[in-house]
Structures are given as structure tokens and as C-alpha cells.
């Protein structure tokens, strides 16, 4: 798709970018990639293709689908959100996935980040503490054909020990401190990206790289994520 031509054509025909975003998810997705993802320095071609392939509008509530490709997180119910597209792309690029990677995700939410991982990795294991969200995410991922993404309900602080070790771990909710079980489930040479900090405040997005010498910690950017909880929510 030639994005520049598409935008010019819509303007000539009397459609603004807002109108296009509401009526043409493919156009909106390409515009998102150009302005929000590439425009902020994401360069990994595999990540860009994955973001292009995943229909974000399928992972938001129907009444918010016209906003699916905007530069914002969106509510998905139960006090949770789907992350801002740029943050999804940044976390994905930071993990440096390859087609043989095995990924653990803590905080499935709507399933969008898991789908992006599913485009890039061999297997994705995703844990969601809120049962209705886990159920909906599983149904959406199955409907869209992501057979390599496995979702279960549970306390993400404990990880998924029977499927460990993982090449990469992504946490999409913020604990005050990094749960010790997660680095333990990372293989040597693996990467863990996680927001750390208090609820309802600025947090630090952290990258941990595991080697035979221990863990190297790298601070990435300031972020705001929903807090990590430690109990299974049936509501």
C-alpha cells in the first residue's frame, strides 16, 4: 500500500485523516506505523511488519474501534487498558525476538501484545489475572488464527514455570519491584522488559539482560502502566 498516495487521494476526495481512520482500518494502521512507530525511531523491519499485520481494532471494545489506531492507550474493561501502540512496538523491539523465540507475557489484557509477539516468535505463553479478560483474549486470538499463543488465568508474579525457560519475558503491568520468579524463568542470554514503580505514578520501563555473570539492568523510558496485582480476579 502506498501510504502517501492513499493520504493524498483521501484529501482530494474530501476525506480527512480522521474520516479515513474511522472507515478504513488498514489505512489507519499504516498511518499509525508511519507516524507513531517509525516516526519515533522503531526500525526493526520484522516489528514493523508485525504491527502492520495485527488488526488492533479487533482487540478493543466495539464502541472504541474508531480510536483503535490513535496514539493512546484505551480502556478494555475491568480497570485495564490496551497499551499505546508505540509502547507495544518499543517493548517488542527491545526483546529482539526471532522465529524460534519462546516468549512469556504477564498481563494478557485484550491479547493485542500477545498477537504481535505471535507474529514474531515460535511460542507465546500469556498470563492474565482477570478471568473475563483472559477468556475474551483467548477467543479473539483463536478467531484470528494465533494458534501459537497460549493464554491462561493466573497470578503473573509466579510466571509459567512448567514452560520455562523463556527467551524473552514481557510484563505489561507495573509491580513495585521485579518479582523474583520472572528472572529465574529467563534463559541465559534472554531479555525481560518490565515497568517498575508505584501505582498511579510515573514508572520506569526496565530491560534486564541475563548472562552467566548475572543480570544487567538498563533503564529505557518513563511510562505509566496499570499496577500488577497478586490475586486472581473472577469479576
Is 180 one of the annotated active-site residues of the chain? no
Rounded CA gap, 77 and 60, in Å?
A: 10
* Cβ proximity of 68 and 123 under 8 Å: no
Q: Which of 83, 101, 110, 126 is catalytic?
A: 83
Which are the catalytic amino acids?
83
Amino acid at each position: 500500500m502506498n501510504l502517501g498516495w492513499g493520504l493524498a487521494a483521501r484529501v482530494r476526495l474530501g476525506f480527512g485523516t480522521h474520516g479515513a481512520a474511522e472507515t478504513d482500518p488498514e489505512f489507519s494502521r499504516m498511518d499509525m506505523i508511519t507516524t507513531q512507530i517509525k516516526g519515533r525511531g522503531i526500525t526493526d523491519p520484522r516489528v514493523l511488519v508485525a504491527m502492520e499485520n495485527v488488526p488492533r481494532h479487533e482487540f478493543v471494545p466495539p464502541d472504541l474501534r474508531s480510536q483503535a489506531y490513535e496514539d493512546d492507550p484505551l480502556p478494555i474493561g475491568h480497570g485495564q487498558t490496551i497499551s499505546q501502540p508505540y509502547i507495544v512496538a518499543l517493548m517488542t523491539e527491545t526483546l529482539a525476538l526471532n522465529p524460534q523465540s519462546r516468549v512469556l507475557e504477564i498481563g494478557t489484557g485484550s491479547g493485542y501484545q500477545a498477537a504481535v509477539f505471535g507474529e514474531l516468535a515460535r511460542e507465546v505463553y500469556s498470563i492474565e489475572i482477570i478471568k473475563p479478560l483472559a477468556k475474551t483474549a483467548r477467543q479473539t486470538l483463536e478467531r484470528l488464527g494465533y494458534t501459537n499463543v497460549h493464554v491462561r488465568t493466573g497470578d503473573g508474579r509466579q510466571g509459567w514455570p512448567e514452560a520455562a525457560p523463556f527467551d524473552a519475558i514481557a510484563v505489561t503491568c507495573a509491580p513495585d519491584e521485579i518479582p523474583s520468579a520472572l528472572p529465574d524463568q529467563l534463559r541465559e542470554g534472554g531479555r525481560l522488559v518490565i515497568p517498575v514503580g508505584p501505582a498511579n505514578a510515573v514508572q520506569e520501563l526496565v530491560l534486564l539482560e541475563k548472562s552467566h555473570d548475572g543480570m544487567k539492568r538498563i533503564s529505557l523510558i518513563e511510562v505509566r502502566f496499570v499496577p500488577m496485582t497478586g490475586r486472581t480476579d473472577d469479576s
